[in-house]
Amino acid sequence: MAGGKRPYSVIWSAAVFVVLEIAAILMLSRTSSLQDIWISRASHRVHASIWGGGEKVRNYFTLGQENKKLAKDNFELSAMVRDFAQKDLSYRENHLYDDRVANFRLVPATIVKASRNSQHNYIVLNKGSEDGVKPQTGIITTNGIVGVVNTVGKRFSYGLTLMNAKISVSARIGRTGLVGPLEWDGRRSNGALMKGLPLHYSVAPGDTVWTSGFSSVFPPDIPIGVTGKIRQVDGSTNEVAVRLFQDFGALRYVIITENLDREQIAEIEKEGQK
Protein backbone atom coordinates (compact mmCIF):
# COMPACT_ATOMS: atom_id res chain seq x y z
CA MET A 1 0.00 0.00 0.00
CA ALA A 2 2.81 2.20 0.76
CA GLY A 3 4.22 1.44 -2.68
CA GLY A 4 0.91 2.51 -4.22
CA LYS A 5 1.13 5.92 -2.64
CA ARG A 6 4.49 6.72 -4.14
CA PRO A 7 3.23 7.78 -7.61
CA TYR A 8 0.80 10.20 -6.02
CA SER A 9 3.59 11.59 -3.87
CA VAL A 10 5.78 12.17 -6.92
CA ILE A 11 2.94 13.83 -8.82
CA TRP A 12 2.15 16.03 -5.85
CA SER A 13 5.76 17.05 -5.50
CA ALA A 14 6.00 17.82 -9.20
CA ALA A 15 2.83 19.94 -9.04
CA VAL A 16 4.16 21.90 -6.08
CA PHE A 17 7.44 22.41 -7.95
CA VAL A 18 5.65 23.71 -11.06
CA VAL A 19 3.49 26.08 -9.00
CA LEU A 20 6.56 27.39 -7.19
CA GLU A 21 8.36 27.87 -10.52
CA ILE A 22 5.41 29.77 -11.96
CA ALA A 23 5.22 31.92 -8.83
CA ALA A 24 8.95 32.59 -9.04
CA ILE A 25 8.65 33.59 -12.70
CA LEU A 26 5.74 35.91 -11.91
CA MET A 27 7.62 37.47 -9.00
CA LEU A 28 10.70 37.95 -11.21
CA SER A 29 8.53 39.52 -13.89
CA ARG A 30 6.94 41.93 -11.39
CA THR A 31 10.28 42.71 -9.83
CA SER A 32 11.67 43.45 -13.28
CA SER A 33 8.77 45.82 -13.99
CA LEU A 34 9.26 47.56 -10.69
CA GLN A 35 12.97 47.79 -11.37
CA ASP A 36 12.17 49.30 -14.77
CA ILE A 37 9.90 51.87 -13.13
CA TRP A 38 12.46 52.70 -10.48
CA ILE A 39 15.22 52.96 -13.07
CA SER A 40 13.00 55.09 -15.28
CA ARG A 41 12.13 57.41 -12.40
CA ALA A 42 15.75 57.66 -11.35
CA SER A 43 16.72 58.40 -14.94
CA HIS A 44 14.12 61.16 -15.15
CA ARG A 45 15.36 62.64 -11.89
CA VAL A 46 18.91 62.61 -13.18
CA HIS A 47 17.86 64.18 -16.48
CA ALA A 48 15.81 66.81 -14.65
CA SER A 49 18.72 67.54 -12.34
CA ILE A 50 21.11 67.87 -15.26
CA TRP A 51 18.62 70.05 -17.20
CA GLY A 52 17.92 72.20 -14.15
CA GLY A 53 21.61 72.55 -13.47
CA GLY A 54 22.20 73.48 -17.09
CA GLU A 55 19.46 76.09 -16.92
CA LYS A 56 20.95 77.52 -13.74
CA VAL A 57 24.36 77.67 -15.38
CA ARG A 58 22.93 79.32 -18.49
CA ASN A 59 20.94 81.79 -16.38
CA TYR A 60 24.01 82.51 -14.29
CA PHE A 61 26.13 83.35 -17.32
CA THR A 62 23.28 85.26 -18.97
CA LEU A 63 22.82 87.27 -15.78
CA GLY A 64 26.48 88.12 -15.85
CA GLN A 65 26.19 89.35 -19.41
CA GLU A 66 23.09 91.38 -18.58
CA ASN A 67 24.83 92.89 -15.56
CA LYS A 68 27.82 93.79 -17.71
CA LYS A 69 25.51 95.44 -20.22
CA LEU A 70 23.77 97.37 -17.45
CA ALA A 71 27.09 98.46 -16.01
CA LYS A 72 28.26 99.50 -19.48
CA ASP A 73 25.06 101.51 -20.06
CA ASN A 74 25.41 103.13 -16.66
CA PHE A 75 29.03 104.01 -17.36
CA GLU A 76 28.17 105.51 -20.74
CA LEU A 77 25.36 107.55 -19.25
CA SER A 78 27.58 108.72 -16.42
CA ALA A 79 30.24 109.71 -18.93
CA MET A 80 27.57 111.55 -20.92
CA VAL A 81 26.49 113.53 -17.87
CA ARG A 82 30.09 114.28 -16.91
CA ASP A 83 30.61 115.56 -20.44
CA PHE A 84 27.69 117.96 -20.00
CA ALA A 85 29.25 119.35 -16.84
CA GLN A 86 32.71 119.76 -18.41
CA LYS A 87 31.72 121.67 -21.54
CA ASP A 88 33.88 124.76 -22.04
CA LEU A 89 32.46 128.29 -21.93
CA SER A 90 32.49 128.87 -25.69
CA TYR A 91 30.49 125.70 -26.26
CA ARG A 92 27.90 126.79 -23.70
CA GLU A 93 27.60 130.25 -25.24
CA ASN A 94 26.98 128.79 -28.70
CA HIS A 95 24.20 126.44 -27.60
CA LEU A 96 20.64 127.13 -26.63
CA TYR A 97 20.50 125.28 -23.32
CA ASP A 98 21.80 126.12 -19.88
CA ASP A 99 24.29 123.71 -18.33
CA ARG A 100 22.21 123.53 -15.16
CA VAL A 101 20.45 120.48 -16.68
CA ALA A 102 23.74 118.61 -16.53
CA ASN A 103 23.24 118.11 -12.79
CA PHE A 104 21.45 114.77 -12.91
CA ARG A 105 21.55 111.77 -10.58
CA LEU A 106 21.34 108.37 -12.29
CA VAL A 107 19.57 105.38 -10.73
CA PRO A 108 19.84 102.01 -12.56
CA ALA A 109 16.63 99.97 -12.48
CA THR A 110 15.14 96.76 -13.84
CA ILE A 111 11.73 96.49 -15.49
CA VAL A 112 9.56 93.97 -13.62
CA LYS A 113 6.38 94.46 -15.65
CA ALA A 114 5.57 96.17 -18.93
CA SER A 115 2.59 96.95 -21.16
CA ARG A 116 3.11 97.31 -24.93
CA ASN A 117 -0.27 96.58 -26.50
CA SER A 118 -2.42 99.61 -25.71
CA GLN A 119 -2.56 103.37 -26.24
CA HIS A 120 -1.49 103.91 -22.63
CA ASN A 121 1.55 101.69 -22.15
CA TYR A 122 3.49 101.61 -18.88
CA ILE A 123 6.34 99.92 -17.05
CA VAL A 124 6.92 98.96 -13.41
CA LEU A 125 10.48 99.36 -12.10
CA ASN A 126 12.16 97.66 -9.14
CA LYS A 127 13.26 100.96 -7.56
CA GLY A 128 11.15 103.23 -5.37
CA SER A 129 11.30 105.96 -2.76
CA GLU A 130 13.68 103.88 -0.63
CA ASP A 131 16.13 104.23 -3.53
CA GLY A 132 15.57 107.96 -3.87
CA VAL A 133 13.23 107.74 -6.87
CA LYS A 134 10.72 110.59 -7.20
CA PRO A 135 7.70 111.22 -9.46
CA GLN A 136 8.25 113.15 -12.68
CA THR A 137 11.77 111.86 -13.21
CA GLY A 138 13.00 110.59 -16.56
CA ILE A 139 13.55 107.00 -17.72
CA ILE A 140 16.22 106.48 -20.39
CA THR A 141 18.70 104.01 -21.85
CA THR A 142 21.77 104.51 -24.01
CA ASN A 143 19.42 104.04 -26.98
CA GLY A 144 17.15 106.95 -26.09
CA ILE A 145 14.13 107.94 -24.06
CA VAL A 146 11.87 105.35 -22.44
CA GLY A 147 9.38 107.45 -20.47
CA VAL A 148 8.62 109.30 -17.24
CA VAL A 149 8.13 108.03 -13.67
CA ASN A 150 4.55 108.78 -12.69
CA THR A 151 3.92 107.12 -9.30
CA VAL A 152 6.41 105.96 -6.67
CA GLY A 153 6.04 103.39 -3.90
CA LYS A 154 8.61 102.30 -1.33
CA ARG A 155 10.19 99.56 -3.44
CA PHE A 156 8.67 100.02 -6.89
CA SER A 157 7.75 102.82 -9.27
CA TYR A 158 5.26 103.11 -12.10
CA GLY A 159 6.25 104.88 -15.30
CA LEU A 160 4.48 105.94 -18.50
CA THR A 161 6.48 105.01 -21.59
CA LEU A 162 6.92 107.07 -24.73
CA MET A 163 4.39 104.61 -26.24
CA ASN A 164 1.67 106.43 -24.32
CA ALA A 165 -0.70 109.11 -25.61
CA LYS A 166 -0.14 111.15 -22.43
CA ILE A 167 3.62 111.61 -22.93
CA SER A 168 5.21 114.50 -24.82
CA VAL A 169 8.95 115.23 -24.88
CA SER A 170 10.80 118.40 -25.82
CA ALA A 171 13.07 117.44 -28.72
CA ARG A 172 15.48 119.12 -31.11
CA ILE A 173 16.23 118.25 -34.74
CA GLY A 174 20.01 118.36 -34.94
CA ARG A 175 22.10 119.61 -32.03
CA THR A 176 21.31 123.28 -32.71
CA GLY A 177 18.16 123.02 -34.81
CA LEU A 178 14.40 123.29 -34.48
CA VAL A 179 12.83 122.50 -31.10
CA GLY A 180 9.34 121.03 -30.75
CA PRO A 181 7.20 118.49 -28.90
CA LEU A 182 7.70 114.81 -29.74
CA GLU A 183 5.08 112.15 -29.06
CA TRP A 184 4.28 108.58 -30.04
CA ASP A 185 2.52 108.14 -33.39
CA GLY A 186 0.09 105.65 -31.78
CA ARG A 187 0.82 102.88 -34.28
CA ARG A 188 4.40 101.61 -34.31
CA SER A 189 6.62 100.70 -31.36
CA ASN A 190 9.45 102.71 -32.92
CA GLY A 191 7.38 105.54 -34.43
CA ALA A 192 6.97 109.10 -33.15
CA LEU A 193 5.92 112.52 -34.46
CA MET A 194 7.16 116.07 -33.96
CA LYS A 195 4.12 118.31 -34.40
CA GLY A 196 3.42 122.02 -34.77
CA LEU A 197 6.71 122.92 -36.45
CA PRO A 198 6.86 126.25 -38.35
CA LEU A 199 6.70 125.97 -42.13
CA HIS A 200 9.65 128.29 -42.75
CA TYR A 201 12.08 125.84 -41.08
CA SER A 202 13.51 123.23 -43.45
CA VAL A 203 13.90 119.70 -42.12
CA ALA A 204 15.87 117.04 -43.98
CA PRO A 205 15.03 113.34 -43.66
CA GLY A 206 17.74 111.44 -41.82
CA ASP A 207 18.56 114.19 -39.29
CA THR A 208 19.18 112.99 -35.74
CA VAL A 209 16.61 114.03 -33.13
CA TRP A 210 17.93 114.80 -29.62
CA THR A 211 16.48 115.80 -26.28
CA SER A 212 16.40 119.59 -26.27
CA GLY A 213 17.55 120.32 -22.73
CA PHE A 214 14.50 122.55 -22.19
CA SER A 215 12.94 119.95 -19.90
CA SER A 216 13.72 119.45 -16.22
CA VAL A 217 13.10 115.70 -16.69
CA PHE A 218 15.71 114.64 -19.27
CA PRO A 219 19.35 115.62 -19.77
CA PRO A 220 20.08 117.40 -23.07
CA ASP A 221 21.52 115.82 -26.21
CA ILE A 222 20.30 112.26 -25.66
CA PRO A 223 19.75 110.80 -29.15
CA ILE A 224 16.11 109.85 -29.67
CA GLY A 225 15.79 108.87 -33.34
CA VAL A 226 16.02 110.10 -36.92
CA THR A 227 13.63 112.19 -39.00
CA GLY A 228 11.58 110.66 -41.79
CA LYS A 229 8.68 111.95 -43.87
CA ILE A 230 7.52 115.55 -43.52
CA ARG A 231 3.99 116.73 -44.22
CA GLN A 232 2.01 119.95 -43.86
CA VAL A 233 -0.95 120.01 -41.50
CA ASP A 234 -3.80 122.40 -42.43
CA GLY A 235 -1.29 124.43 -44.45
CA SER A 236 0.01 126.08 -41.26
CA THR A 237 2.53 123.74 -39.63
CA ASN A 238 4.79 120.80 -40.43
CA GLU A 239 4.63 117.36 -38.91
CA VAL A 240 7.81 115.27 -38.98
CA ALA A 241 7.87 111.49 -38.59
CA VAL A 242 10.64 110.17 -36.33
CA ARG A 243 11.99 106.62 -36.19
CA LEU A 244 13.01 105.94 -32.59
CA PHE A 245 16.33 104.31 -31.71
CA GLN A 246 14.86 102.60 -28.65
CA ASP A 247 13.39 99.14 -29.21
CA PHE A 248 10.54 98.91 -26.70
CA GLY A 249 10.15 95.20 -27.32
CA ALA A 250 13.62 94.44 -25.91
CA LEU A 251 13.59 96.61 -22.79
CA ARG A 252 14.77 95.18 -19.49
CA TYR A 253 17.26 97.56 -17.87
CA VAL A 254 16.82 101.33 -17.71
CA ILE A 255 18.25 104.40 -15.99
CA ILE A 256 16.11 106.80 -13.93
CA THR A 257 17.31 110.40 -14.27
CA GLU A 258 16.70 112.91 -11.49
CA ASN A 259 17.42 116.59 -12.07
CA LEU A 260 18.95 117.75 -8.78
CA ASP A 261 18.13 121.36 -9.63
CA ARG A 262 14.49 120.74 -10.41
CA GLU A 263 13.06 122.18 -7.19
CA GLN A 264 15.08 125.38 -7.56
CA ILE A 265 13.96 125.69 -11.19
CA ALA A 266 10.31 125.21 -10.14
CA GLU A 267 10.66 127.83 -7.41
CA ILE A 268 12.16 130.44 -9.73
CA GLU A 269 9.43 129.74 -12.29
CA LYS A 270 6.76 130.37 -9.64
CA GLU A 271 8.43 133.61 -8.62
CA GLY A 272 8.64 134.74 -12.20
CA GLN A 273 4.93 134.07 -12.82
CA LYS A 274 3.75 136.19 -9.88
Does the pLDDT at position 204 exceed 80? yes
Residue 160: count of CB within 10 angstroms of its CB: 21
Predicted pLDDT of residue 67: 59
CA distance 142 to 75: 10
Does the pLDDT at position 223 exceed 60? yes
CA distance 166 to 207: 25
Does the pLDDT at position 153 exceed 80? yes
Rounded mean pLDDT of the chain?
76
Which of 59-63, 252-256, 260-264 comes out lowest in average pLDDT?
59-63
Residue 74: count of CB within 10 angstroms of its CB: 16
Query: Domain map of the chain by residue range?
Result: 89-272
Q: Are 167 and 161 in contact (CB under 8 A)?
A: yes
Q: What's the whole-number mean pLDDT along residues 99-105?
A: 60
Does the pLDDT at position 14 exceed 70? no
Select from 3.40.1010.10, 3.30.70.3450, 2.40.10.340, 2.40.30.10 the CATH code of 89-272.
2.40.10.340
* Strand, helix or coil for residue 165: coil
Predicted pLDDT of residue 131: 93
Q: What's the whole-number mean pLDDT along residues 232-261?
A: 89
Does the pLDDT at position 33 exceed 70? no
For 116, what's the count of Cα atoms within 13 Å in the CB-facing half-sphere? 12
Model confidence over 69-96: pLDDT tens digits?
A: 655 565 555 555 545 444 433 433 443 3
Q: What's the whole-number mean pLDDT along residues 172-198?
A: 90
Q: Are 223 and 175 in contact (CB under 8 A)?
A: no
Which band of pLDDT confidence, cut at 50, 70 and 90, is reported for residue 163? very high
Q: Are 218 and 145 in contact (CB under 8 A)?
A: yes
Query: Is the pTM here over 0.95, yes or no?
Result: no
Does the pLDDT at position 34 exceed 80? no
Residue 189: count of CB within 10 angstroms of its CB: 17
Q: What's the whole-number mean pLDDT along residues 244-260?
A: 88
Does the pLDDT at position 232 exceed 60? yes
CA 217, distance to chain mean position in Å, is: 20
CA distance 139 to 120: 16
